[in-house]
């Protein structure tokens, strides 16, 4: 039996209207495939030449009448791609290519890219006070754009379930434009600009979403992958102060495949090495240290973009050891995220958090097939990921994972591809994503509800299983029974801060009542045919080791 979908009348025709925000008058229209969809609303307009290495300014003047239809341009992308034989094997698998997001489908890249897309049900009145779902896209802090996401499925589903909502998608700077590190950047106060772009987007929503029929007091922040890591960072920046003008910017959060990311400071050796590489590629190496950042700002967009792409991307040998990521700078992030979590320096709001069972297995397909022995694996982890750990410490971590081609996830020994493939995937997936969710949950107050899940619905995919980003089609594009049920959980959470309040009949027998993680430390397993509750205790020895050694296991 098919789950009931939204009535067809909810699919809107293109309509042009006007509204006014503090930035001026906005012309907007609906997306041709969704409910009344106001897109391209300008959050910040940065004059050309000020984007590189600059904090987004607060613009108080009005801009007059602004054409704000369609989707805004993508921020500059890092799309260097390492083609491996294994990648060629997996990319031909059904439905795999669309979830790898190489960035090649993004258009209109420009440095003047700080925009917000606002999508809402057709006919929404300004006084509707609908809850707002604030989306932060993923892409390893190097690729991605709101262009790849719209509300053509989620918004009609919310209307059909009697819980209409508004979807907002924020753009933010990537790579060197948004996350350049180095001592020069730290001294200039120009670190974590991408996070500050996201924060300004939240502030824009607080000031303006009421004009679109949204409730600024009912905002949920949501992200996947790097966007999900950004969600935790938005909980933790300024030591957990999530207010603007005396009111909270959001009341809940959803983190899909990402949360805490243990990182070294902005002026760490790794961040400095990347800065120096970019400076060299940009022709600024001969400039005194105190002038290098200004040199980068003055070389022009095209030259700077080329210099940025001289650094390897997360679609290469270093995947997924992000060369660009939010890092502690003493102000925006006062410490590594796991420290902020352990010390309670983050906004505690109700959350949904979870992962795919086989995280990063697709990411490591970009790594050359050269890890055939335990010694190869230890060297790679030490060289690319854990610079501050000794080889003995890395070896001890590796030893907590069985040397078994069918371990730790059971998709078959024939899918191991090379001797250390699955062990490498398990270590990186746990360290970067799965265990970080558990670590955050262990710090969470008992009286603030948190729900956690693990997805296994794609375990039939050869080689990859339920890999990183398989959730995106279910959440944004698909209308099958499983997707509709998962969407219902999120829509319910946006509406009531409880995922269990979905409309009767929506789940078609797929969903199991979902207890909070604090009750029994259980996850909702999202399978291909049904759901069940499982305990969040997988690979306990590995979790204990990583938790005890995080100071030396940071990016």
Give me the active site residues, please: 225
DSSP code at position 358? B
Asked whether the beta carbons of 453 and 526 are under 8 A apart, the reply is yes
Three-class SS of 124-155: CCCCCCEEEEEEECCCCCCCCCHHHCCCCCHH
34, with CB counted inside 10 A (0-12, 13-18, 19+), is: buried
β-pair type (450-455, 247-248): unpaired
Asked whether the beta carbons of 407 and 419 are under 8 A apart, the reply is no
Asked whether the beta carbons of 140 and 225 are under 8 A apart, the reply is yes
CB atoms within 10 A of CB 64: 8
Where in 191-262 does DSSP place strands (E)?
214-224, 243-244, 247-248, 252-256
**CB hemisphere CA count around 9 (13 angstroms):** 2
Asked whether the beta carbons of 286 and 51 are under 8 A apart, the reply is no
Helix (H) or strand (E) holding 225: none
d(CA 202, CA 486): 25
d(CA 113, CA 24): 18
C-alpha dihedral sign at 406, 410, 413, 416: negative
Distance of CA 203 to the CA centre of its chain: 19
């Amino acid at each position: 039996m098919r789950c009931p979908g939204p009535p067809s009348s909810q699919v809107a025709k293109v309509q042009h209207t006007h509204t006014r925000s503090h930035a001026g008058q906005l012309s907007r229209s609906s997306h041709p495939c969704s409910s009344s969809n106001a897109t391209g609303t300008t959050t910040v307009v940065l004059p050309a030449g000020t984007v590189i290495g600059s904090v987004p300014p607060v613009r108080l003047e009005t801009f007059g009448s602004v054409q704000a239809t369609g989707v805004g341009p993508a921020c500059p992308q890092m799309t260097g791609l390492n083609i491996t034989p294994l990648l060629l094997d997996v990319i031909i698998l059904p439905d795999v290519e669309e979830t790898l997001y190489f960035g090649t489908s993004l258009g209109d890249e420009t440095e003047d890219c700080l925009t917000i897309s606002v999508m809402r049900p057709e006919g929404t009145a300004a006084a509707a006070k609908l809850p707002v779902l604030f989306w932060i896209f993923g892409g390893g802090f190097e690729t991605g754009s709101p262009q790849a996401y719209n509300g053509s499925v989620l918004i009609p589903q919310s209307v059909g379930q009697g819980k209409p909502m508004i979807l907002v998608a924020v753009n933010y700077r990537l790579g060197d434009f948004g996350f350049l590190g180095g001592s020069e950047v730290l001294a200039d106060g120009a670190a974590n600009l991408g996070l500050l772009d996201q924060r300004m987007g939240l502030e824009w929503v607080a000031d303006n979403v009421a004009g679109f029929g949204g409730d600024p007091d009912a905002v949920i922040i949501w992200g996947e992958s790097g966007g999900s890591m950004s969600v935790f960072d938005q909980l933790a920046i300024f030591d957990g102060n999530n207010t603007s003008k005396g009111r909270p910017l959001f009341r809940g959060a959803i983190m899909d495949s990402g949360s805490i990311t243990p990182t070294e400071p902005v002026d760490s050796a790794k961040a400095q090495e990347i800065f120096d590489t970019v400076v060299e590629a940009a022709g600024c190496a001969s400039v005194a240290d105190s002038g290098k950042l200004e040199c980068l700002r003055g070389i022009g967009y095209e030259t700077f973009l080329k210099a940025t792409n001289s650094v390897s991307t997360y679609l290469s040998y270093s995947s997924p050891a992000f060369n660009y990521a939010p890092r502690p700078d003493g102000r925006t992030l006062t410490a590594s995220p796991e420290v902020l979590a352990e010390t309670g320096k983050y906004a505690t709001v109700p959350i949904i958090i979870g992962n795919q069972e086989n995280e990063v297995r697709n990411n490591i397909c970009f790594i050359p097939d050269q890890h055939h022995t335990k010694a190869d694996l230890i060297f790679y982890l030490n060289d690319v990921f854990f610079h501050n750990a000794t080889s003995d410490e890395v070896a001890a971590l590796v030893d907590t994972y069985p040397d078994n081609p069918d371990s730790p996830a059971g998709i078959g020994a024939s899918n191991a591809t090379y001797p250390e493939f699955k062990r490498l995937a398990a270590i990186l997936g746990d360290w970067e994503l799965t265990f970080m969710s558990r670590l955050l949950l262990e710090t969470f107050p008992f009286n603030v509800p948190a729900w956690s899940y693990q997805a296994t619905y794609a375990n039939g995919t050869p080689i990859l299983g339920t890999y990183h980003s398989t959730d995106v089609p279910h959440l944004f594009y698909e209308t099958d029974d499983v997707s509709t049920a998962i969407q219902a959980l999120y829509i319910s959470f946006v509406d009531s801060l409880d995922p269990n309040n979905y409309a009767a009949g929506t789940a078609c027998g797929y969903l199991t009542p979902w207890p909070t993680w604090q009750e029994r430390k259980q996850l909702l397993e999202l399978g291909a045919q049904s759901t069940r509750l499982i305990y969040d205790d997988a690979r306990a020895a590995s979790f204990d080791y990583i938790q005890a050694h995080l100071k030396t296991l940071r990016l």
